[in-house]
Structure 1
Amino acid sequence: MIYCDYAATSPMSNLALDVYQEVAKGYFGNASSLHDIGGKAKDILENSRTMIAKLLNTEARQIVFTSGGTESNLLAIDTLLRTSHLKKKKHIITTEVEHSSLYYYMKELANQENVEVTFLSVDHNGQIRLTDLEKAIQPNTCLVSIQHVNGETGVIQPIKEIGERLQKQGIPFHSDMIQSFGKIDIKHLIPFVDCITISSHKIFGPKGVGALYFSNRLSLRSHPVSTNHEHGLRPGTVNVPGIAGFAAAASETINNLVQNQDHIQYIRELFIQKLKIEGIPLQPIVTVNQCPSIVGCISDFVQGDYVMLEYNRHSIAISTGSACAIGATEVPKSIQPFISDYDEGKRFVRFSFSHHTTEKDIHEIIKASNRIFNRIKEERQGYDKEING
């Protein structure tokens, strides 16, 4: 099967798998235990923390490990809200295009009496308007959370410009960087954010592992569940083998970032070019400032879930959007700037690539696309003849 759903998850790299197995077998102790076996696990944990910190050009004590991206997002928001010293109603700013884990949590927070949430819309390029952000800020704004790269469209938000404005007003800034970490360089953005979310399984590490970065500018309060894990910010025994595999995968991916970026950019351009040349009725969403690994497309006349199943029948794995939102009936808000109506939105599919995607894969995808849409056209024509007599 040709795999084109890397934005949903990725297979573990050989290095990450080897490290995971070695640590799981040889360093199985609880990293919080005081005996030698626990101490060895603790050493692995802290070495992994240092590795992740170096990749972000920050310090090990600023990294908190979690069970994955969703927990990281929720823990980030809870921690930053707990850090706020506001006694009156707290105001949060986020966007309508956040990952579902954060968007629906923000919706829930908005129902609480002591929290107000502003959801910023995006422009025709899928980006927030900085003027809208500035207008939304209130005296009691205690947190802004805006993702870096959107998982459906690949649109990149102007994190540096957002951070510069918020720092002037002393407002903490969280950014979900799960889709960008390991895909594009984010080190230069760290000075402009107070907290970021990253995840292991998006970059060829094990599932069930994620991490948060917290800036030294913050004075963090411990988790209300008294715990000695992760600087007191997260309860629960840490997954040392998974974290070690995460650190190995992250180091491998970041060390090859430039080479991988060049390859993925070539793959993206080849794919979009071939769609146009072959006249395949998939219209790619192309706008300013996008992550090259994600190509969202709108089918001219076929619903996205049917298109996805047809590709699957031809041994090609694609998706109809974020795997965390599968089953949702609404059209993702992230693609709404690029469509004219609801029906068009239901014709959305997503191809997402990695450095493992080859030129041969693209040619095979294009061949399959021709077969799929030619057959659908023939079926539609036959149906129309039958109806019209």
Structure 2
Amino acid sequence: MVYCDYAATTPMSDIALEVYQDVAKNFFGNASSLHDTGGKAMDILDQARAILADIFHTQPRQIVFTSGGTESNLLAVDSLLRASPIKEKKHIITSEAEHSSLYYYFQELSKSEDIEVTFLPLGVDGQIDIEELLQTVQPHTSLVSIQHVSGETGVIQPIADIGKKLKEQDIYFHSDAIQSFGKIDLEPILPHVDCLTISSHKIFGPKGVGAIYFHPQVTLLPHPVITNHEHGLRPGTVDVPAIASFSASALQQKQQISHNKKHLTYIRELFCEKLKNLEVPLRPITSPAQCPSIVGCIADFVQGDYVMLEYNRNGIDISTGSACSIGYTNIPRSISPFISDREEGNRYIRFSFSHLTTEQDISQIVEISNRIFVRMKEERTNYEKKINW
């Protein structure tokens, strides 16, 4: 099997598994309990928070742990809206291509009489037009939320440039960094955002845990429903083993980020070049700024779900979009600038790589791709001959 769906989820690393097992066995107490066993668990939780805080160059109190990326996104938006000095009707600016966890939440918020939401389209290169964004700002604009890296196309949004403009107007700025954290350097954008959301299972940590980074200038207010965890922002017993494992994986990815990015850039270029040389009918989606771990493609003449099943039959795992949207038939909104119509959008598939992807994997993928599409072309030709006979 060749796994090419790392944008959906990743296997737990050896260090993540080792830490999880150790903490689950030896520090099993409830971190909120007052006895010594609970205190030891709290010490582990504090260490994990300090590790993430160091990665974000902030204080531990600015890190909030959650149950994963979706809760991180929703809690981040909810917290920033409560922290906003605008107390009457609030205005949110976002894009039409946000992750489903936020896009549908913003759709629901827009139905409220107290909230107005503007959904910005993407430009021809898949990026937000900053001038168009600034033109939509209103006196009651409370929040802008723009995803850092698209999980379908890998396009990187100009977060730092957007953030600089919003700072001038005292508007809170959130970015969903779930696809970028651990893959590309976030340090250039940290001074220009008020909040970033991340997830563990995208970076070789356990599922069911995520985190939020809040800038120190954000004054967080406790959730109106009384809660007693994570600075009063959320309920539920904190999963200390998963959080410790997450922090260990995050630290490992941070230490390897330069090497991994170099490797991923090479793997992406090798993959695209081999596809081109073999004339495999897959058109990679390209943009001036892309995360090298993600290669979205448009097939020439066959639907993406059928192509995905053919790859699966040949031992290669790919996807046709976000695993969080399985069951929905909508074409990924982020690919709209790169397709001419819905029929073309239905031919979208995604390969996503990691530092574990090898040259041999790429050679095998391309060889099987060639085999799949040669057979599909023959079937198509034979079918056309038959109906025209």
Give yes or no for TM over 0.5.
Answer: yes
Pair 1:176-2:186 in alignment:
no
Cα offsets for 1:332-377 (capped at 9, x unmatched) = 1210100111000000000000000000000000110011011111
For 1:302, the equivalent position in structure 2 comes to 302
1:231 is displaced (CA, Å) by 1.0
Contact 1:225–1:235, Cα closer than 8 Å, also in 2: no
Q: Percent identity?
A: 65
1:233 is displaced (CA, Å) by 1.2
Structure 2: runs of 5 or more not aligned: none
For 2:357, the equivalent position in structure 1 comes to 357
Cα offsets for 1:73-123 (capped at 9, x unmatched) = 000111111112323211000100100000000000000111000011110
For 1:193, the equivalent position in structure 2 comes to 193
For 1:231, the equivalent position in structure 2 comes to 231
Match runs of 1:131-142 below 5 Å? 131-142=131-142
1:243 is displaced (CA, Å) by 0.2
For 1:370, the equivalent position in structure 2 comes to 370
For 2:273, the equivalent position in structure 1 comes to 273
Pair 1:50-2:72 in alignment:
no
Aligned residues: 389
SS in structure 2 at match of 1:268 = helix
Contact 2:84–2:172, Cα closer than 8 Å, also in 1: no
1:13 is displaced (CA, Å) by 0.1
For 1:337, the equivalent position in structure 2 comes to 337
Partners of 1:34 and 1:4 lie apart in 2 by: 45
Tell me which amino acid in the other structure corresponds to 1:289.
A
SS in structure 1 at match of 2:142 = strand
Tell me which amino acid in the other structure corresponds to 1:108.
E
For 2:77, the equivalent position in structure 1 comes to 77
Contact 1:123–1:337, Cα closer than 8 Å, also in 2: yes
RMSD over aligned Cα atoms: 0.8
Contact 2:284–2:296, Cα closer than 8 Å, also in 1: yes
Tell me which amino acid in the other structure corresponds to 2:143.
L
Contact 1:93–1:145, Cα closer than 8 Å, also in 2: yes
1:228 is displaced (CA, Å) by 2.4
Contact 2:73–2:197, Cα closer than 8 Å, also in 1: yes
Partners of 2:52 and 2:90 lie apart in 1 by: 32
SS in structure 1 at match of 2:344 = helix
For 1:146, the equivalent position in structure 2 comes to 146
Tell me which amino acid in the other structure corresponds to 2:150.
N
Cα offsets for 1:226-281 (capped at 9, x unmatched) = 22211111111111000000001111111011011100000000000001000000
SS in structure 1 at match of 2:197 = strand
For 1:8, the equivalent position in structure 2 comes to 8
Contact 1:223–1:235, Cα closer than 8 Å, also in 2: no
Q: Which 4+ runs in 1 deviate beyond 6 A?
A: none
For 2:249, the equivalent position in structure 1 comes to 249
Partners of 2:234 and 2:188 lie apart in 1 by: 27
For normalisation by structure 1, the TM-score amounts to 0.99
Partners of 1:266 and 1:326 lie apart in 2 by: 30
1:384 is displaced (CA, Å) by 1.5
SS in structure 2 at match of 1:290 = coil
Tell me which amino acid in the other structure corresponds to 1:137.
V
SS in structure 1 at match of 2:188 = helix
Partners of 1:185 and 1:300 lie apart in 2 by: 34
Match runs of 1:93-132 below 5 Å? 93-132=93-132
Contact 2:125–2:337, Cα closer than 8 Å, also in 1: yes
1:188 is displaced (CA, Å) by 2.4
- Name the stretch that deviates more: 347-356 or 217-226: 217-226
Structure 1: runs of 5 or more not aligned: none
